[in-house]
């Protein structure tokens, strides 16, 4: 009886192993008799909105060795170290390593180097083709495109955010071997092809991007700043047409041995770093004022209201707030809202913010997207810095009214300004238009304009656009004016904070503008960080924005509207 029971247990165990473990054990057995050579998929292309190639994958090679098959390790190590610029001892140790069937000697070598290796005819040394990432224009659009690791995985930028679409599926070449890894003379070979990655089409227009980058280079040369940055977007859709920062890095020659330098100049600071926007923020305060007046708020001011106390000074909570000019000879006196924008008069925007109150002002901060990320398809975006509403003092609120005591990203400022002039809609920005199969051309994923919310009414938006057109026609933005075209905008000059305190002589000069003012389409934000000499945005930043507008007009062959 005991024997029957014992045999029953054995049979049950065998049945369990065959049925439950069968496939796994079969795979393990196959692994012992097969060695695989990876066939890496080519990473997908990245192209601009018109299909121009920006990032692609060229044919590169990896060098592998099967130590069991290497006949003359000394000679092979000598030749490989010479061709591949590797240490002889390192290569020799790989070629003589025991207990492994295969080792990688070097990844991502060029076709020319691969041919040199092939000509040596070294036993036990193999070449496998793989993708070698290449960026068509080197340091062009570098902070947006990002880069990949040595194994072809996206690490930053679009390369990282859309990595699962770009990377493809690797294949392999399976070869039958004996237990020590030598190929069987009559063994079979199984080929499993790789599947290349998909094509990612950006909203970026390479021509407009080139215009922006050339202008930034000019600004770096003429102003000698710490950095210069620019965003160009379509205010009607939220599509980013250009996004650039200087200095930048060459994606084909990354300084991987200097991580601090690499991360500093490959980072997309237009959406990862925050700064006090200064007077460019007055667009929000003016918008809130007009919209609240339209909605019947008795604490709001009409467009025709004449602001009193033209001394150019306000005392709030014992702290003095001054205008940039002394208001001598009646300058900036008897101003309405359009005048205040035109003259960029801080005290009037202080009056507006304090009159509306913190609840209303914070409501508009939220409507215009401040205090939260825009949701752009890019990793690392910051949400800006707002003093919590419960902690805001009158002094804080007064300064928020003209763009101090608040820190924003450049992208947030762009989207908020776009909402102020595009009819009142806060749009979600995006960098990728579609993802498609390069073989069939079939679109796998398509992205469309997305409305986040309505910030202000169409009527208020038209008023703001008209006021900002006057700023360019008559006021601080006149250096961005283009004869025959309707350009609107606002300048900004903000003193920088360093280690929690205002830094003497360090400013961020900026200009944000759009055209055509009567029906806005293109928006440009130009930022010059710590220019040497003049610091006013009207002098430092506005002319460069005007140059970008002119070049877009020429590129798009846009006819004058007036």
Distance CA 322, CA 350 (A): 10
Concatenated DSSP letters of 172-222: EEEEEB-TTSPBPTT--EEEE--BPPPEEEES--HHHHHHHHHHHHHHHHH
CB 249 within 8 Å of CB 278:
no
Instruction: Tell me phi and psi for residue 109, to 5 degrees.
Output: -105, 160
Q: Which residues of 434-473 are buried (b: 16+ CB within 10 A; e: fewer)?
A: bbbeeeeeeeeeebeeeebeebbbeebbbbbbbbbbbbbe
C-beta of residue 165 within 8 angstroms of C-beta of residue 200: yes
Cα distances from 335 to residues 102, 156, 291, in angstroms, run 80, 49, 19
Separation of CA 486 from chain center? 30
> Which member of 279, 310, 461, 535 is catalytic?
279
Nearest C-alpha neighbor of 459 from the set 337, 280, 287:
287
Is 436 considered catalytic here? no
Helix/strand/coil for 97: coil
Please say whether the beta carbons of 274 and 494 come within 8 A: no
> Cβ(480)–Cβ(549) under 8 Å?
yes
User: Over the range 326-365, which residues count as b (16 or more CB within 10 Å of their CB) and which as e?
Assistant: ebeeeebeebbbbbbbbbbbbbbbbbbbbbbebebbbebb
Question: Which DSSP string do the residues of 386-447 spell out, in sequence order?
Answer: ---GGG--HHHHHHHTTT-S-BB-HHHHHHHHHHHHTTSEEEPPBSEEEEE-TTT--EEEE-
Q: DSSP E strands: which ranges in 110-192?
A: 125-135, 171-176, 189-192
Task: Residue 275: name the closest of 497, 492, 491 by CA.
Answer: 497
Phi, psi of 291 (to 5 degrees): -65, -40
CA 535 vs. chain centroid, Å, equals 27
The answer to whether 477 and 525 are in contact (CB under 8 A) is no
- Catalytic residue numbers, as ranges: 279
């Amino acid at each position: 009886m005991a024997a029957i029971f014992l045999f029953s247990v054995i049979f049950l165990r065998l049945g369990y192993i065959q049925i439950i473990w069968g496939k796994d054990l079969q795979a393990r057995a196959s692994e012992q008799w097969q060695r695989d050579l990876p066939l890496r998929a080519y990473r997908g292309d990245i192209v601009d909105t018109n299909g121009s190639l920006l990032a692609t994958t060229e044919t590169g090679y990896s060098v592998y060795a099967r130590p069991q098959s290497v006949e003359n390790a000394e000679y092979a190590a000598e030749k490989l170290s010479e061709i591949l610029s590797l240490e002889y001892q390192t290569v020799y140790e790989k070629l003589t390593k025991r207990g492994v069937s295969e080792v990688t000697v070097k990844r991502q070598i060029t076709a020319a180097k691969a041919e040199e290796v092939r000509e040596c005819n070294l036993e036990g040394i193999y070449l496998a083709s793989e993708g070698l990432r290449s960026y068509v224009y080197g340091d062009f659009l570098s902070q947006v495109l990002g880069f990949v690791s040595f194994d072809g995985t996206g690490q930053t930028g679009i390369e990282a955010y859309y990595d699962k679409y770009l990377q493809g599926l690797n294949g392999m070449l399976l070869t039958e071997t004996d237990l020590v890894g030598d190929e069987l003379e009559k063994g079979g070979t199984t080929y499993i092809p790789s599947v290349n990655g998909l094509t990612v089409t950006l909203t970026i227009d390479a021509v407009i991007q080139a215009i922006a980058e050339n202008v930034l280079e000019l600004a770096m040369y003429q102003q000698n700043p710490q950095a210069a940055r620019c965003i160009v977007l379509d205010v009607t859709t939220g599509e980013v047409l250009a996004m650039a920062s200087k200095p930048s890095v060459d994606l084909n020659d990354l300084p991987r041995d200097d991580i601090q330098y690499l991360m500093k100049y490959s980072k997309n600071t237009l959406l990862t770093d925050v700064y006090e926007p200064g007077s460019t923020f007055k667009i929000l305060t003016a918008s809130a004022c007009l919209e609240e007046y339209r909605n019947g708020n008795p604490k709001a001011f009409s467009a025709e209201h004449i602001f009193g106390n033209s001394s150019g000074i306000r005392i709030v909570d014992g702290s003095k707030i001054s205008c940039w000019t002394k208001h001598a000879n009646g300058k900036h006196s008897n101003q309405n809202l359009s005048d205040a924008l035109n003259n960029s008069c801080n005290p009037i925007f202080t009056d507006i913010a304090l009159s509306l109150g913190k609840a209303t002002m914070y409501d508009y901060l939220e409507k215009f997207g401040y205090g939260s990320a825009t949701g752009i398809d890019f990793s690392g975006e910051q949400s800006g810095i707002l003093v919590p509403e419960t902690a805001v003092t009158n002094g804080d609120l007064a300064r928020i009214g003209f763009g101090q005591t608040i820190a924003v990203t450049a992208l947030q400022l762009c989207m908020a300004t776009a909402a102020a002039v595009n009819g009142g809609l806060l749009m979600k920005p995006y960098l990728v238009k579609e993802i498609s199969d390069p073989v069939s051309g079939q679109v796998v994923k398509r992205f469309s304009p997305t409305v986040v919310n309505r910030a202000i009414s169409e009527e208020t938006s038209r008023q703001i656009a008209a006021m900002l057109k006057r700023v360019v026609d008559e006021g601080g933005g006149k250096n961005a004016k283009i004869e025959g075209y309707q350009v609107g905008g606002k300048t900004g000059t903000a003193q920088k904070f360093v280690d929690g305190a205002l830094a003497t002589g360090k400013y961020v000069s900026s200009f944000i503008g759009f055209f055509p003012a009567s029906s806005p389409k293109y928006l440009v934000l130009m930022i010059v960080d710590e220019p040497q000499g003049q610091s006013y945005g009207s002098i430092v930043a506005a002319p460069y924005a005007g140059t970008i507008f002119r070049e877009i007009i020429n590129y798009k062959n846009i006819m004058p509207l007036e």
